A = this chain, B = another copy of it.
Amino acid sequence: MTIRLLLADDQALVRGALAALLGLEPDLEVVAEVGSGDEVVEAALTHRPDVCLLDVEMPGLDGLGAAAALRDRVPTTKVLMVTTFGRPGYLRRALQAGAAGFVVKDTPAARLADAVRRVHQGLRVVDPALATDSLLAGESPLTPRETDVLRAARDGASVATIARRLVLSEGTVRNHLSSAIGKTAAGNRAEAVLTAEQNGWL
């Protein structure tokens, strides 16, 4: 009995390469590949895979959202997240979204097939180093609105621009920013964006 796989990654090259890698295993079979999170549920409904490999960073619906959608619409398929960035917040959010495993792209290729098999058996697969980081970093201290403001500040927009985008007063934007800067122990808006991004809070 082979394990049926669905691959989701926006980079066609690594998608195909992963397919080739996993296709070498006799007990694994890649039944579908998609390039964006929006196509995941549809492909899962038609091909009924046992395990779905999701990249976190994708255009449109990202891997976290796709995992949540799969949990609701196709609960029989297990989700294994595969990501380039080992951001602590990603791990937490992925598990909350119903993912059964979380692997960073630094892990040796040989271990990926094992991770797939374990997920298929109903086990949790988590990078141990990342798990400690996740506990250490803790949940996001930012309020929803602070997160919005920081997100809107990612491209270097001015206070006036952010205020216009979120339909807020400039003073309110400055207050939210100031609060976020304090919580991230930054001295600066740009620094706050950076550390928040590194922790997966955005």
Given contacts A11-B105, A84-B11, contact A24 B17 (CB under 8 A): no
Residue A16 CB within 8 A of the other chain: yes
Cβ of A18 within 8 Å of any chain B Cβ, yes or no, is: yes
Could you tell me which residues of chain A, from 150 to 200, have a CB within 8 Å of some CB in chain B?
155-158, 186-194
Name A's B-contacting residues (CB within 8 A): 10-21, 23-24, 82, 84, 103-110, 112, 155-158, 186-194
Pairwise interchain contact A106-B193, C-beta atoms closer than 8 A: no
B186 touches A156 (CB 8 A): yes
Q: With the chains together, A15 CA to B108 CA distance in Å?
A: 9
Q: A12, A17, A24: which has the most chain B beta carbons within 10 Å?
A: A17
CB pair A156 B190 closer than 8 Å: yes
Q: How far is the CA of A36 from the CA of B131 in the complex (A)?
A: 25
With A14-B17, A82-B13, A112-B13 as contacts: A155 and B105 at CB distance below 8 Å: no
